[in-house]
Amino acid sequence: MMDLPPSIAPPPEKEAMLLALDQLVFEALEKDAVRRAENPGGDKGPLMAYLLVDASCDPLITMHADSFNEQSRCLFDGQAFEDLAEVALWLISLERNGQAWDWFMDEGWSNNWGIVILSRLPLAKLKSHFKKFIEAEDEDGEVCFFKFYRPEHLNTYLPVFDDEQRAHFLKGIDGILTEVGDGLTALVHRLGKDAQLETVSVDLVTMGEPLIAKAPTDEEVEAYVNQVLQAQA
C-alpha cells in the first residue's frame, strides 16, 4: 500500500504533537465557555487564544497574517508600520481548525517563530500591552529590541524577571505556550500566587498519543459486522 503524503497523514509522532497542542490551547477555551455558561453575569470576558509571531522569520509571514479569516494586527503603527510591516510583530486571533492555527502548526511551530497566548483581553488591548515591551534598556542604558516573542528568549528571561517585572509582563495574561527545541516539548508559563512564575513542561508526544484515532482491529470489525447482521435479522 502506498503511504499517504505527510500533509494528509503526518507521522505518528507529529500527529501526537499536533493533537496535544490542540488540546492544550482549545480545551482551555472550551472549559472556560462552559463555566461562563453555567455562571452568567460574571465580569470577566471570555478566554481567547492568540498568536504573536515575528515576521522577520520568514518573508511570507506578513502576507499570511494579513490574509487570514481571523483578526490580526501588526504591533507597529504609523510610519513604523509603513517601513517595517514585513519584519514586524503580528498578533493573530486563533480558532480551532482555523487558518492561522493550521498554518502556524504546519510552518511555524518548532522554528522559534512566535508564542501562543491565552488571555481575556481583546485583540486591541493585548496589542497595546505587548507594545510596551518591544524595546528595553540594557545594563548600559542602551535601548534595544527585546525579543520576548521568540520562544527561546521568553523561556530564558521570564524565569529571571523580578516579581514586579513578571507581574507587569503577565498582567492580563492567563498563560503563554512556548516550544522547546524540536517542538516535541512545550512549556506553559503562567503567573501564580505572589507573582511567582508557574511553568509546566509538557511532553507533547506522550500527551497526544492516546488521542490518535486508532484503526479498528480485524476482530473489532468482525464483531461490528456481526452486530449489524444480527440487528437486521
The model's pLDDT over 83-120, given as tens digits with 9 standing for 90+, comes to: 777 888 999 999 999 999 999 999 999 999 999 999 99
Conformation bin of residue 112: beta by default, left when phi > 0, alpha when psi is -120 to 50? left
Residue 46 has pLDDT above 50, yes or no: yes
> Where exactly are the structural domains of the chain?
12-232
Of 109, 94, 8, 95, nearest to 51 by C-alpha is 94
* Residue 2 pLDDT: 44
The helix/strand/coil state of 20 is helix
Residue that wins the pLDDT comparison between 2 and 190: 190
With contact defined as beta carbons under 8 Å apart, do 96 and 22 qualify?
yes
Residue 72 has pLDDT above 90, yes or no: yes
Q: Exposed e or buried b for every residue in 113-144, given b needs 16+ CB within 10 A? A: bbbbbbbebebeebbebbeebbeeeeeeeeee
CA 149 to chain centre: 12
* Residue 66 pLDDT: 85
The model's pLDDT over 16-38, given as tens digits with 9 standing for 90+, comes to: 999 999 999 999 999 999 999 98
pTM for the model? 0.85
How many CB atoms within 10 Å of residue 36? 15
